[in-house]
Every structure is written in C-alpha cells, then in structure tokens.
Amino acid sequence: MHCFRNILYVTLKPGDQSFALNEALRIAQQNETSLKVLAIFPEFPGELKPFQDKFKQSVLDQLEASVKENCDSPEMDPGKISYEVEFGKTPGLRMVRQVLRHDFGLIIKDAEPHEGGKGFQAVDMELLRKCPCPVWLCRPPRANREDSKLAVAIDPDSSAPAGEGLALKLLEVASSVAERLTQDLNIISCWDSEFEETLRSNVWFRIPEDALQHTVANIFARHRNALRSLIQQAALEEKFRLHHLHGQPDELIPSFVERNGIDILVMGTVARVGIPGFLIGNTAENVLQKVSCSLLVVKPEGFVCPVKMEA
C-alpha cells in the first residue's frame, strides 16, 4: 500500500480552511504521519507593518481552531500537527521551497477558484509544474466523500524512459486512495493511430482499407497487451474498471471525467530526466485546463525541480 508521509497543507485565504484541510487531516491520520498547516499571505504595506505580528497570531489561532473543528478522528495526535504563517510574494515558489526544505511527501490545498469551474489558476499551475512531490488540488465532491468517484489516467506505451515507472506509481497511488475511499478504481488509457484520420481523409493518396484496418488493429492489440501487462505488474488489490479509449487523451480524459461524474483524477506529468520542470508535449496541460474535479498529480522518477533553495 502506498503511504504519504510528512504532509503539507497550504491555504492562501484566511478563514477558508474547508474541504482540503479535512482531507489533509484524514490522510495524515490514515497514514499515521505528520501534518504541517501553512498559511501564506502578502507582506503588510509599510503603514500597516506594525499590525503584521498580531495578524499572524490571529491566523495561527484560527488555523488551530479550524483543525480542531475539522478533525473527525480522536485518534489524530495533536503533537503531529504544526502551524506556520509566511508573508511574501510568489506563493507557488514558497510552497515548493517548503517541500524542498522539509522533504514533504504530499502537498494538499484547495484549488483556486477558476472562471467556468474548469482548469486551474496560475498559482496552482506553477505548483503542478514545479513541485517535486505529489500535489493534490481539492474541489468538493459532487456527492458525499464516501461516494467519491476516482479515476487514474495511465499510458502503458510511453516513449519516455520513466514512463513505465510512472504508470506503475500512478496505479499504486490511485489504488491506495481508492481503498481509503472504499471506491472502485476507474483506470483510463487512451490509444490512437495518429496517421489513420490523415490517410482516410487524403483525396490525393489512397491506402487499401483492409491494409489500413489491419495496421490499426495491430496498434490496438499492442497497446491493449501493454496495458494488461502493466496492470498485472501493479498487482492491484482493489477492484477496478478498465476503460480503453480510442482517441486523443486531451479530449477523451476530460470528457470521461465529466460524463462519469469523477471527483478525483490521478495523473502524471512525464518529464525529461535532467531538464528542470519540463513537460513533454501539451497533453498533460491540456487535460488540466479542461477538468473540474479534484486533481492528484504525480511526478516521475528523475524529475528535476527548477526551484532553487534560497541562500
């Protein structure tokens, strides 16, 4: 079972400790690990600077009260919860530096409100691109948390060196989350023959239909076999439903999430090893901007964080 260790919860709004805080407390308790509650605010301007320390203390008191109010388990050890308030610009960078400084294994926060309810704001996108540990951006579920629907998107045929390892890691993480939610796991994998539509619509060049169909069938079979092999390697203990979809993932995944009422999507960002913060292609970012559910993003082994520690 995958375990998150040393969890960081972050809020950027005083008095807005809600769904994500409850999730952070629940996950910390289930994993028997520590939780840091962090609030980040802009620096007070010069004429208000004398009030900053009193404001900080009020926020700390408010955070502690919110934890007591939201903690639904008497088994959560208060000694494993710490609190901090930071002031300054670039909250996304400050979160990543917290992860680098304290080796957090998961960062969780409420997704910033976004027009239309889909996609993510700049601060959240910076966190998703640069944070080396898993990032969980929370939105309230459509139903009760106990009835939350979970899906994980994997690619068994990735050309990236870390692709297979990332897919196995995603299955491990998603299976663990599904177990704690007592929900079946939906596994999404998309396959496509990029040349198929081009050749069928080209009036100047024709390939016999039977030859084209045979090639497409072979591509489907190779992808299906790779997918089955990957799931077998993962040795999933939880029940799951497999959705093998034909088409482009940046169109099919958001459509599947919306159509099936998915509350949490687990996915990865495939990075080129050694290139800080680099995402291959636009597929991952296109998916991110089209979903309205909570998002749990996992980086591959070898991901290089582009953020440097402060001197």
Each residue's pLDDT tens digit, 133-187? 999 999 988 766 667 899 999 988 766 667 788 899 999 999 988 887 767 799 9
The torsion angle over the Cα atoms of residues 158, 159, 161 and 163, rounded to 10 degrees, is: -10
Is 99:8 a contact under the CB 8 Å cutoff? yes
Structure tokens at 121: 């704001």
Give the range among 50-59, 124-133, 190-199 with minimum mean pLDDT. 190-199
pLDDT higher than 80, residue 74: no
The pLDDT of 80-92, averaged and rounded, is 94
CATH topology of domain 143-311: Rossmann fold (3.40.50)
- pLDDT higher than threshold 90 for residue 123: yes
CA 235/CA 212 separation, integer angstroms: 35
Q: Using CA atoms, how far apart are residues 27 and 38, in angstroms rounded to an integer?
A: 16
The residue ranges of every structural domain in the chain are 1-140, 143-311
- Give the Cα separation of 131 and 51 in Å (integer): 32
Location of structure tokens 């687990």 = 266
For residue 304, the model assigns a pLDDT of: 81
CB 10 within 8 A of CB 104: no
28 Cβ neighbours under 8 A, 6+ residues apart: 7, 34, 35, 76, 80, 81
Q: Which homologous superfamily does the CATH classification assign to the domain defined by 1-140? A: HUPs (3.40.50.620)
* 3-class SS of residue 84: strand
- Please tell me the predicted confidence (pLDDT) of residue 210: 77
User: Are the C-beta atoms of residues 68 and 38 closer than 8 Å to each other?
Assistant: no
Q: Tell me, what's the pLDDT at 229?
A: 92
- What stretch of H or E contains 65? helix 52-70
Q: Give the number of other Cβ atoms within 10 Å of residue 21's Cβ.
A: 25
- Select, from the ranges 91-100, 174-183, 186-195, the one with the highest average predicted confidence (pLDDT): 91-100
SS3 193: coil
Q: Please state which of the ranges 4-18, 159-173, 206-220, 266-280 shows the lowest mean pLDDT.
A: 266-280
Which of residues 208 and 304 earns the better pLDDT score? 304
Q: What global pTM score does this model have?
A: 0.88
Q: Do domains 1-140 and 143-311 have the same CATH topology?
A: yes
Per residue in 280-310, pLDDT (tens digit) is: 446 788 898 999 999 999 988 888 888 887 6
Provide the pLDDT for residue 308: 82
Residues near 276 by Cβ (< 8 Å), separated by ≥ 6?
304, 305, 306
Q: What is the mean pLDDT of the chain?
A: 84
